[in-house]
């Protein structure tokens, strides 16, 4: 089990205050690592405090706009000043209705009416933010000769969303129709190849880069939608929020020391048929 031990290691988790970001942080802390929750949300310090309290290990929260290069550079310096190192980067941040404070009508608009500004914002957060974080923190890792980067993609980065599952379904927060937007699916597909590129680029500098593609996580979804989706999943259910923790720990620890440039899909078998 020593291969999974992260004692003394420092992990930066973007989108750390979100549903899965907090789970990633818990996985790090459980293994003895220091979780740095980086998020644009106002409650990021509170989220980090909960991780520190629940796992009895130092964790911090940093409010950062990952689409802003200066913000990202400041975040990197802050972590280095506090801990003296960065061993792990988990690029988890992504544009969502709730997290982005967006209009559901626009975010879930059909392709023919999808707002250009929202398309651009998704590119900025989901890709440019990842680019900036990898550039800043990866440079630090390369100089030291070691590091692990895990980029969170999605099952819909490998397959197209099945648009039929949204028929008759409503967003539980707004009561409006919803879907998987074109911008989300497109950027998540790009994350996978972005990870492959960096894996080969930095292989000689001691940095491993992989991506993780989760399936849908159950979080109060419309029961009609859940029924439609689970019919497409061999395990016949959506994931629980905690079910990616072990995979994250595997991918950022020495347990996956010979693994780079890979995309690990954990979707209950959805992409198997």
Is 244 tagged catalytic?
A: no
Lowest-pLDDT range, 13-27, 137-151, 212-226, 252-266?
Answer: 212-226
Task: Give 50-97 pLDDT, tens digit per residue.
Answer: 999 999 999 999 999 999 999 999 999 999 999 999 999 999 999 988
Contacts of 137 (CB under 8 A, 6+ apart): 12, 76, 86, 89, 147, 149
Contacts of 197 (CB under 8 A, 6+ apart): none
Average pLDDT (124-148) is 98
Whole-number pLDDT of residue 133: 98
8 Å CB contact between 103 and 176: no
Write out the two tokens for 165.
């599952």
Q: Is the pLDDT of residue 102 over 80?
A: no
The one catalytic residue among 107, 114, 166, 184: 184
Share of the chain above pLDDT 90, in %: 88
Q: Which residue has the higher pLDDT, 102 or 188?
A: 188
The b/e string for 6-18 (b: 16+ C-beta within 10 A; e otherwise) is beebbbbbbbbbb
Which stretches within the chain are classed as H helix? Answer: 19-30, 44-55, 69-83, 97-100, 104-107, 116-123, 129-144, 182-201, 223-230, 245-252
Whole-number pLDDT of residue 200: 98
If you count them, how many residues does the chain have? 273
Contacts of 248 (CB under 8 A, 6+ apart): 23, 24, 27, 28, 90, 150, 212
Domains of the chain, CATH where assigned: 2-119+146-272 (3.40.50.720)
Whole-number pLDDT of residue 97: 81
8 Å CB contact between 155 and 267: yes
The pTM (predicted TM-score) of the whole model is: 0.96
Task: Give 153-200 pLDDT, tens digit per residue.
Answer: 999 999 999 999 998 888 776 778 889 999 999 999 999 999 999 999
Q: Is the pLDDT of residue 101 over 90?
A: no
């Amino acid at each position: 089990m020593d291969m999974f031990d992260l004692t003394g290691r420092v992990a930066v988790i973007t989108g750390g205050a979100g549903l899965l970001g907090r789970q990633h942080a818990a996985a790090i802390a459980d293994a003895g690592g220091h979780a740095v929750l980086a998020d644009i949300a106002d409650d990021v310090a509170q989220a980090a405090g909960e991780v520190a309290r629940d796992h009895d290990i130092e964790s911090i929260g940093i409010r950062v706009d990952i689409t802003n290069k200066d913000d990202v550079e400041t975040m990197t310096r802050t972590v280095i000043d506090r801990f003296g190192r960065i061993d792990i980067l988990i690029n988890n941040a992504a544009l969502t209705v709730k997290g982005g404070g967006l209009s559901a009508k626009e975010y879930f608009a059909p392709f023919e009416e999808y707002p250009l500004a929202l398309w651009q914002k998704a590119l900025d957060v989901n890709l440019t933010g990842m680019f900036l974080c990898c550039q800043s923190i990866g440079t630090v890792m390369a100089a030291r000769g070691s590091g692990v980067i895990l980029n969170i993609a999605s099952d819909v980065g490998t397959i197209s969303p099945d648009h039929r599952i949204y028929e008759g379904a409503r967003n539980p927060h707004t009561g409006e129709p919803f879907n998987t937007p074109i911008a989300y699916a497109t950027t998540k597909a790009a994350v996978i190849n972005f990870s492959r590129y960096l894996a080969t680029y930095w292989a000689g500098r001691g940095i491993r880069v992989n991506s993780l593609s989760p399936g849908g996580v159950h979080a109060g979804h419309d029961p009609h939608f859940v029924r439609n989706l689970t019919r497409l999943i061999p395990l016949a259910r959506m994931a629980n929020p905690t079910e990616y923790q072990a995979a994250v720990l595997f991918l950022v620890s020495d347990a996956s020391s010979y693994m780079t440039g890979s995309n690990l899909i954990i979707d209950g078998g959805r992409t198997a048929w």
